[in-house]
């Protein structure tokens, strides 16, 4: 299959590309290379004859038309987005422009291409979205997000992703474009940009700095190893039913404080310091509108497509910490990028 992957120089998109190329798929990586991107993420496949890169911004419709025309993909996996909630609080405009208008451009470019080819039945447009579109859950462990949960986004980031999900569904209902949507929980793993909780904690711990926990650390997230997510996305594009959405989750709910304590314990073991790393934990002003709990019911993708997470949170965190210990050459230069290491989105 020839896949057009947007956002392939980012965290999840690059995991998708590494997996797709290893399975023999041809891939065109379409990425504008924003502050969050690194072509190092795909260095392991960049010499492959199966891989192509197009430095293109999804806000540029004419450039997208050219890319579709030049590469003639069988399917689109659309991951390009502004992805950091804290940045969306300080500067929501980029989120609307890329996540909403950019997705609109992708849909229109894909529709034009698909129409011109005679509407091939096998064509797929997979939109990669988040569980954050569903809002916040109460503490009751029986209650989880299903594909039928009402949309209730709370942050500029999740509102922009919800808007793009609605556009994608409308392009299926109105124009018949064979779309799919996945809504996934929090990812973690190698190549995670050092502004997100897990890499921030690992790198600040190693630097002997305070480990900032928003509020009282009781917010619950469901964590999924990024390579399990990549596997789910390839499965959905290959075997998912057009018009359908699939929730993807790790079945690994933890409070932020539990997660950070676990990371500290792994670091104590792998890189012992004079004092336990947990001594560096500090509580800071909460994120405005911080959703209390996310939890995913992933039974649809399990029952219909046979997907389940394969990496436990404990194993995945250990592998991730070891990866950051082994890959300073990757993360050190990223610490100099704009806003990295600073508290963003605190004011609301
Ligand atoms: P990321 O920030 O690591 O990567 C985003 C990539 O998109 C970057 O390479 C960036 O250069 C590119 N990009 C941004 N704006 C662009 C534009 N205008 N044109 C072209 N390229 C552009 O993000 P990620 O964490 O890999 O997330 C990928 C997708 O998965 C996003 O759509 C996100 O909403 C979704 N998602 C993420 C998570 C998570 O835990 N990280 C969970 C569920 C869903």
pLDDT tens-digit profile of 84-131? 999 999 999 999 999 999 999 999 999 999 999 999 999 999 999 999
Residue 289 region, left (φ>0) first, then alpha (ψ -120 to 50), else beta? left
Q: How many CB atoms are closer than 10 A to CB 315? A: 11
Instruction: Say how many Å lie between the CA of residue 203 and the centre of ligand 1.
Output: 21
131 is annotated as an active-site residue: yes
Four-way CATH pick for 2-193+223-253+292-310: 1.10.10.10, 3.40.50.12780, 3.40.50.720, 3.30.70.2970: 3.40.50.720
Rounded CA-CA distance 141/135 in Å is 16
Q: How many CB atoms are closer than 10 A to CB 74? A: 15
Task: Write b or e for each residue in 214-230: b if 16 or more Cβ atoms lie within 10 A of its Cβ, otherwise e.
Answer: beebebbbbbbbbbbbb
Q: Which residue, among 87, 71, 89, 92, has the nearest Cα to 6 in the 3D structure?
A: 71
Residue with structure tokens 């399917």?
75
The pairing of beta strand 220-225 with beta strand 253-255? antiparallel
188 is annotated as an active-site residue: no
Instruction: Say how many Å lie between the CA of residue 99 and the centre of ligand 1.
Output: 9
Confidence of residue 347 (pLDDT cuts 50, 70, 90): confident
Residue 273 has pLDDT above 80, yes or no: yes
In this structure, are residues 26 and 50 in contact, taking their beta carbons and an 8 Å threshold? yes
pLDDT tens-digit profile of 38-68? 999 999 999 999 999 999 999 999 999 999 9
The predicted model scores a pTM of 0.98
For the chain, what is the radius of gyration of the CA atoms?
A: 20
All structural domains of the chain with their residue ranges: 2-193+223-253+292-310
Q: Please give the mean pLDDT across all residues of the chain.
A: 97
In this structure, are residues 248 and 180 in contact, taking their beta carbons and an 8 Å threshold? no
Give yes or no for residue 130 CB within 6 A of ligand 1: yes
Strand partners, 314: none
**Which residue's alpha carbon is nearest to atom 29 within ligand 1?**
79
Rounded CA-CA distance 208/139 in Å is 34
pLDDT tens-digit profile of 204-253? 999 999 999 999 999 999 999 999 999 999 999 999 999 999 999 999 99
Instruction: Say how many Å lie between the CA of residue 241 and the centre of ligand 1.
Output: 24
* Residue 61: Cβ-neighbour burial (10 angstroms; 0-12, 13-18, 19+): middle
Rounded CA-CA distance 26/65 in Å is 19
């Amino acid at each position: 299959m020839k896949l057009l992957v947007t956002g392939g120089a980012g965290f999840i998109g690059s995991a998708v590309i590494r997996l797709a190329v290893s399975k023999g798929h041809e891939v065109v990586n379409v990425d504008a290379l924003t502050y969050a991107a690194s072509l190092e993420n795909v260095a392991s496949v960049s010499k492959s004859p199966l891989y192509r890169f197009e430095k293109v911004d999804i806000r540029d419709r004419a450039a997208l038309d050219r890319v579709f025309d030049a590469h003639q993909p069988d399917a689109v996996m659309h991951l390009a987005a502004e992805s950091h909630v804290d940045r969306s609080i300080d500067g929501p405009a980029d989120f609307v422009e890329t996540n909403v208008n950019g997705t609109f451009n992708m849909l229109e470019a894909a529709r034009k291409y698909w129409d011109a080819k005679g509407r091939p039945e096998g064509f797929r447009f997979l939109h990669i979205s988040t569980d954050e579109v569903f809002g916040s859950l109460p503490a009751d462990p029986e209650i989880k997000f299903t594909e039928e949960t009402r949309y209730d986004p709370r942050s500029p980031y999740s509102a922009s992703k919800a808007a793009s999900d609605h556009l994608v569904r409308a392009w299926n209902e109105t124009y018949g474009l064979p779309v799919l949507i996945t809504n996934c929980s929090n990812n973690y793993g190698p190549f995670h940009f050092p502004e997100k909780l897990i890499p921030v904690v690992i790198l600040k711990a190693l630097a002997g700095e305070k480990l900032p926990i928003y509020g009282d650390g009781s917010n619950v997230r469901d964590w999924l190893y990024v390579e399990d997510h990549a596997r789910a996305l390839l499965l959905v594009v290959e075997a998912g039913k057009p018009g359908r959405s699939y929730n993807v989750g790790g079945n690994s709910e933890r409070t932020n404080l539990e997660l950070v304590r676990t990371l500290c314990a792994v670091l104590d073991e792998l890189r012992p310091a004079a004092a336990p790393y947990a001594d560096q934990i500090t509580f800071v002003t909460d994120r405005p509108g911080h959703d209390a709990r996310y939890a995913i019911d992933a039974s649809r993708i399990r029952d219909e497509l046979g997907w389940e997470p394969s990496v436990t949170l404990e194993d995945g965190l250990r592998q991730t910490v070891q990866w950051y210990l082994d890959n300073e050459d990757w993360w050190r230069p990223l610490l100099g990028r704009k806003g990295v290491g600073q508290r963003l989105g605190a004011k609301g």
